[in-house]
Chains A and B, each alone.
Chain A
Amino acid sequence: MTRYLVRRAALLVGTLFLASIVLFVLLRLLPGDPANALLSVGATPDQVAAARHQIGTDRPLPAQFGHWLSQLATLHFGTSFVSSLPVGPEIVSRLAVTVPLTLSAFVLAVVVAVPVGFLAAHRSHTWYGALVGVVSQLGIAVPAFWLGLLLIWVFALRLRALPAGGFPPDGWAAPGEAVRALALPVVTVALVMAASLIRYVRSATLDVLGSDHLRTARALGSSFVGAMWRHGVRNAAVPVVSVLGIELATTFLGAVVIESVFALPGLGSMLVRGIAQHDYPVIQGVLFVSTLAVLVVGFLADVAQRLIDPRLRGRV
């Protein structure tokens, strides 16, 4: 197991490196000179050259890349071209919004999806099972931002129970308000994720319910509940865990839109701003952190899968 962990961690670092190259190249392919964002219209070529020198885009590409890599190694994300403020601390403060949002939504989605998906599979021939099927079909077709909009309409504007957007300026120093600010966004993201998860849970449960080994357990006198608990849960978890990793990663990066709906100061809005301003350090920093998060989640999901399923342990 340790050998696998080491190898997998090495793969993670390697992929991260590869991803940072891709990131770097993609950004440099964008037309438009960031130096222009710093200057007013009608700047002289000298001023443009000076601006370029100031932000470092006049150096050869490999030098720029090397510079960025060395910064990363010390967990420095450079300074914004536009605001000259360090990127790192801003990312950290925005993570304080995005991470709780993503994790809470994830937990809520799992808590909802597992029992619903299980029941939908177990009672697949009843109206209940069919209803869940219909609801989840609708659920994966609903755009997250529309759902957020509707929730704002009902709960924030009509019922006045929760804020329509924004995050307290003190952040988590005012925990009650922070939680209230995140309530609707969390529910929105959780519902969208749950709609997708329910289908996977349902499918995995159906497979287990029809499986031969469950039949063996019952044939030897095990009760349905006992057999599902001892054998069903673990077997159903295998395909679901692999999907959970991807879903969590997608949610983290998809928070961009939700933050826009609810005017939350998270990573997503930072990224949108950075893209609009061609602010390379900001874009690079946010995307790097996001990629790192995605890869780490993938790593954890892989390890979890290996822990559950002994058939995967043979391969390293």
Chain B
Amino acid sequence: MRRRVFLVAGIVLVGLVLAVALVSLFWTPFPAADTTGGRLEGPGVHHLLGTDKLGRDLLTRLMIGARIAVAVGVGAVALGAVLGGVAGLLAAFANRWLDDTLAALLDILIAFPTLLLAMLVVAARGASLASAIVAIGLAMSAIVARLTRVLAKRVLAMDYVTAARTSGVSWPRIVVAHVLPNIWPTLAVNLALQFGLAVLAEASLSYLGLGPPPPNASWGRLLQEAQSTVLTAPVGAVAPGVLLVVLVVGVNLLADGLRDVADPTRRGHR
């Protein structure tokens, strides 16, 4: 029962942010680059959440930030899933020597935290939304690849796969009919968790000044800009952080809920 509550809560939280992100594509209270508001105004009638130090409407910037967060999350996870999934599947089928080398390489790549890898990529391509997605996506693909490899190998070792092979089923058919259906639940849960990590990684990148530049900036960037004025204008330093937490908690709850749906043996467990 409690599980169901969590899943619903997760969907609601994520849905809220998604909705805001979608709306921002069509409408925001002010144009993004508009700096006509007074500087560092508090919440008021014209600017519902106040303005930043250049006079831009905070609510608008938060909405755009939602859009960036969702875009990065989806983009990075999609990139990581495709690259990592393919790499992992190939590694699972590779012969012993090649597979061991790949596993060692993956472990090294994973030892570098996402943020550092992302920094290197952004340094190469310049700071932009696309760079952030590519950077974080590449880092994620190593993690996805390792997981896919482990899961696929486990399935390939099962008797029913051996049985399928001996009755002449081709490898591609085995992948589609046996491997993928068995690994996708665990993968899906993991990818949902990675979504949250991607959003946090992008926030860190932006905080360091390596993310999409203003005015279409992300929540991390907003926090970095608000740091110097937190005493006089706390809303700007609190609101983006709260939204980050809302999105990530929502996604994690969703992932937990998915986990219970995906693995029926866990139902009724603590």
Contact = CB atoms under 8 A, between A and B. Distances in A.
Contacts of B253: 137
A299 interface: no
Contacts of A149: 223, 226-227, 230, 237, 241
Given A29-B124, A291-B111, A153 B204 contact: no
Contacts of B223: 143, 145-146, 149
Contacts of B104: 15, 18
Nearest to B237: A149
A158 B111 contact: no
Nearest to A203: B270
B241 A140 contact: no
Contacts of A137: 249, 252-253
A152 B112 CA distance: 29
A257 interface: yes
Contacts of A254: 113, 115
Interface in B151-210: 196, 200, 203-204, 207-208
Contacts of A250: 113
Contacts of B109: 22
Interface in A92-144: 124, 137-138, 140-144
B157 to A, nearest CB: 19
A89 to B, nearest CB: 23
Contacts of A138: 245, 249
Contacts of A256: 115-116, 119, 208
Nearest to B197: A140
Contact of A260 (B105, B107, B208): B208
A153 B248 contact: no
A41 interface: no
Give chain A's interface secondary structure class. Answer: helix
B172 to A, nearest CB: 32
A30 B115 contact: no
B137 interface: no
A166 B61 CA distance: 30
A141 B248 CA distance: 5
A253 interface: yes
Nearest to A250: B113
A316 interface: no
B234 interface: yes
A150 B241 contact: yes
Contacts of A31: 124
Contacts of B207: 143, 145, 257, 260-261
Nearest to B248: A141
Contact of A22 (B108, B226, B237): B108
Interface centre among B108, B200, B234 (most CB of A within 10 A): B108
A191 interface: no
A141 B245 CA distance: 5
Contacts of B231: 153, 157-158
Interface string B123-162: 1100000000000000000000000000000000000000
Nearest to A294: B111
A153 B230 contact: yes
B146 to A, nearest CB: 13
B244 interface: yes
A246 B151 CA distance: 21
A143 B120 contact: no
A118 B91 CA distance: 39
B111 A249 contact: yes
A147 B8 CA distance: 27
Nearest to B111: A294
A275 interface: yes
B241 A206 contact: no
Nearest to A148: B227
Interface in B34-79: none
B220 interface: yes
Given A22-B108, A138-B249, A294-B111, A143 B234 contact: no
B113 A257 contact: no
B143 to A, nearest CB: 12
A30 B196 CA distance: 28
Given A143-B244, A149-B227, A124 B108 contact: no
Contact of A142 (B112, B238, B245): B245
B241 A257 contact: no
A300 to B, nearest CB: 15
Contacts of A18: 104-105, 108
Interface string A230-268: 000000000000000000011001101100110000000
A236 B116 CA distance: 32
A221 interface: no
Nearest to B2: A130
Given A15-B104, A137-B253, A141-B249, A153 B112 contact: no
Interface string B219-233: 010010011001100
21 contacts: A15-B108, A18-B108, A29-B124, A30-B124, A140-B252, A141-B248, A142-B244, A143-B244, A144-B204, A145-B204, A146-B240, A149-B230, A150-B238, A152-B230, A157-B230, A256-B119, A256-B208, A257-B207, A261-B227, A271-B116, A294-B111
Given A138-B249, A140-B248, A276-B123, 10 more contacts: A18-B108, A137-B252, A138-B245, A150-B238, A153-B237, A157-B230, A253-B112, A253-B113, A260-B207, A287-B112
